[in-house]
Amino acid sequence: MNDISIIPLHGKTPRIDPTAFIAPGCRIIGDVEIGPGASIWYNCVLRADVNFIRIGARSNVQDGTVIHCDSAEGGMNGSPTIIEDDALVGHMAMLHGCTVRSGALVGLGSIVMDGCVIEANAMLAAGAMLTPGKTIPTGQMWGGRPASFMRELNESWSIGNQMAVAHYVRNGAAHKSAVDSI
């Protein structure tokens, strides 16, 4: 019993690399693409009904996260949600019409709003809210509600983040094997 919903919508069917792990309870809808070695953990919702969602190779979206995108209707430009390679998205995060660059980290319970960019190797701290149109530059950590600069990240943070990405790739493969054997 796998309890995953993969739902085509508006002529777009989610495209999921066969090496990706999609956990039971996930709902993946519309124009979604999930790359190799990526992991979408238990009870996540990825709803690409008004724009697209892309999840890069080896990135992970942890349990209970909701990802949507911003519509281009009503005279607005709209924004897809793009999570590039090797990014980490913590438990119960909410991402809407934003970009998370390679090696970036979105802390658990945080919110990333329309038009935001978290640059490569940058971090949004747990529980933070990045308000529309803000960019976190490479190598910085922002936190709070609304989020603002907290500190520079050092090389040891970057190495630890890379180790976390590798852990989630291995752990995702283990969970995929366990789920596939049910």
CA–CA distance, 126 with 129 (Å, rounded to integer):
9
Model confidence at 170: pLDDT above 80: yes
pLDDT in tens, 14-32: 999 999 999 999 999 999 9
Give the CATH number of the domain where residue 163 resides: 2.160.10.10
- Asked, as a colleague might, if the bond just before 146 is cis with ω within 30 of 0, I would say yes
| Whole-Å CA distances, 137 to 20, 73, 98, 119, 152 | 29, 29, 14, 5, 10
| Residue 75 pLDDT grade (very low, low, confident, very high; cuts 50, 70, 90) | low
160: containing domain = 5-180
Instruction: Provide the number of structural domains found in the chain.
Output: 1
Q: Which conformational region is residue 147 in: left (phi greater than 0), alpha (psi within -120 to 50 degrees), or beta?
A: beta
Q: What is the pTM of this model?
A: 0.96
Using the structure block, give the residue that is written with the tokens 């038009």.
115
Contacts of 163 (CB under 8 A, 6+ apart): none
State pLDDT tens for residues 125-149: 999 999 999 999 999 999 999 999 9
If we measure between CA atoms, which residue out of 92, 97, 154 comes closest to residue 123? 154
